[in-house]
Amino acid sequence: MCQHQPRCPDVLASDRLAARVVAGHPEQGWSLLCNGIVLFDDAGALLPGGRAVVPPAQAPAALAAAA
């Protein structure tokens, strides 16, 4: 249970990725959020129940600029 004030968003909330980081491992590319979500550097996430959240696709303009 979250002890932060204000409380971190619930895992089912639309702003769930705004929860505080409780364990960060940038060298491995992931962080554990207070609400139990594992957040990956590419913006993908793994929810506590095992459901994966795919990262948003890059916009075509961003891909063209990178080329």
Q: Greater confidence, 28 or 57?
A: 28
Within 10 A of 19 (CB to CB), how many other CB atoms are there? 23
Q: Is 1 within a domain? A: no
Q: Is 23 within a domain? A: yes
Q: How many domains does the chain have?
A: 1
Q: Is 35 within a domain? A: yes
Q: Is 4 within a domain? A: no
Task: Give the N- to C-terminal CA distance of the chain in Å, as an integer.
Answer: 45
pLDDT tens digits for range 19-54:
999 999 999 999 999 999 999 998 889 999 999 988
Which residues have CB under 8 Å from 9's CB, separation 6+? Answer: 15, 16, 18, 19, 35
Residue 39 structural domain: 16-66
Helices (H), 1-67: 60-66
pLDDT tens digits for range 2-24:
888 999 999 999 999 999 999 99
Q: Is 38 within a domain? A: yes
Q: Is 60 within a domain? A: yes
Q: Is 56 within a domain? A: yes
Burial group, residue 47, by CB count within 10 angstroms (0-12, 13-18, 19+): middle
